[in-house]
Chain A
Amino acid sequence: MQKPKLVYATYIRTTPRKLWEAITKPEFTHQYWGGARNVSDWKKGSKWEHVFEKEADPVWITGKVLESTPPKRLVLSWADPDRLADQSRVTFEIETMEDMVCLKVTHDKLKPGSKMLRGVSWGWPRVLSSLKTFLETGKGLNIFCK
């Protein structure tokens, strides 16, 4: 059975550089990504982590930077640190258009029926909606408590 794939496109009134920074700088991510910080030097081959500093177990997601072409394309491997054998992959593609950018996020190589698949299916529309609101209004959405 083919592995499930999520694709989500949105359009944001911002610049590619500002969007890249919103995704990669921890001082921005925590403002819209449910309080989490994305931490890495974002060079190909480097580790990256999705961190909730106040939690007892702060690293929720970890992986490697597979491709990095700022501010157009970022590809990351993605896994729960307690389940490193289940590696999925996230691709961010940023395309400039008139007064906006198109952000396309593809999350593939997910394990069918997995908790991770359910989690990211719940999460990506929330994170990307909140990201758009953050870049366009200065404040993210408060939609992360289940």
Chain B
Amino acid sequence: MKREPFVYVTYIRTTPEKLWQALTAPEFTQRYWLQTKQESAWKPGASWRAVAPDGQAIISGEIITIDRPKKLVFTWRNETKPAITAEGYSRVTYDLEQQGASVKLTILHEMDKPGSKLLQSVSGGWPLVLASLKSLLETGEPLEETRRYVAC
């Protein structure tokens, strides 16, 4: 039986363009997303990876769909834990929808493999990273717990 995808919705007082930048640009991600940065040419078919401070790729994948600043779809494979790497590629969708002075951000993380340890792991990670991103955009400061790289 296919495992239910992980879905998370949050509302952030910002604009779609600022949120898009915060989700993808290193000057933001390094502050709230465990000091990582993302490398990609940001076109359909282009490779995508998230990189730790020491340069090691921790997540790898490919851009599927890009419609800045509204929608991004890309694949995601963990590169740090062999048992999870072996599960292969999952798929992540970001939907950004302006709602007044806020943006509704929907994250969908899908993995066809039942009993996926990857999905279990990101189900804990997404709410924390997104909470830190929200704090950064709304108050200027990310949450303390997500400022430094931790292998996961």
CA distance A74 to B139 in the complex (A): 28
Interface locus among B16-24, B64-72, B99-107, B112-120: B99-107
Say yes or no for A20: interface residue by CB 8 A criterion: no
B132 on interface, CB distance cutoff 8 Å = yes
Query: Interface size for chain A: under 10, 10 to 19, 20 to 34, or 35 or more residues?
Result: 20 to 34
Tell me whether B131 is interfacial, beta carbon within 8 Å: yes
Q: Is B91 an interface residue (CB 8 A)?
A: no
One of B9, B132, B138 near A133 (C-beta < 8 A):
B138
Chain B interface helix/strand/loop/mixed: mixed
Is A98 at the interface (CB under 8 A from chain B)? yes
Contact A125 B102 (CB under 8 A): no
Q: Name the B residues within 8 Å of A12 (CB-CB).
A: 131
**Contact: B145 with A11, CB < 8 Å?**
yes
Of the residues B12, B100, B127, contact of A9 by C-beta under 8 Å: B127
Shortest Cβ distance from A142 into B: residue: B100
A84 within 8 A of partner (CB): no
A55 is an interface residue with CB less than 8 A from chain B: no
Interface string of B124-137 (1 = CB under 8 A from A): 00011001101100
Chain A 133-144 near chain B by CB (<8 Å), digits 1 or 0? 100110001110
Does any Cβ of A come within 8 Å of B10's Cβ? yes
CA distance A8 to B11 in the complex (A): 13
Is B99 in contact with A143, judged by CB distance below 8 angstroms? yes
> Shortest Cβ distance from B143 into chain A, in angstroms?
5
Check A13/B10 contact, CB under 8 A, given A98-B144, A100-B143, A141-B102: no
Q: Does A72 contact B (CB under 8 A)?
A: no
Distance between Cα atoms of A109 and B35 in the complex (Å): 40
Residues on the A chain within 8 Å of B100, using CB: 142-143
Residue A88 interfacial (CB < 8 Å): no
A99 close to B (CB within 8 Å):
yes
Contact (Cβ within 8 A) B131 A11 = yes
7 shortest interchain CB distances as A-B pairs: A129-B11, A11-B131, A125-B9, A99-B144, A9-B127, A98-B144, A129-B10
Name 12 extra pairs, CB < 8 A, besides A13-B143, A130-B11, A141-B13: A9-B127, A13-B141, A98-B144, A99-B144, A125-B9, A129-B102, A129-B134, A132-B134, A132-B135, A133-B13, A141-B102, A143-B104
A-B contact pairs, 10 of them (CB 8 A): A10-B127, A10-B131, A11-B127, A11-B131, A11-B132, A13-B143, A100-B131, A125-B10, A132-B134, A143-B100
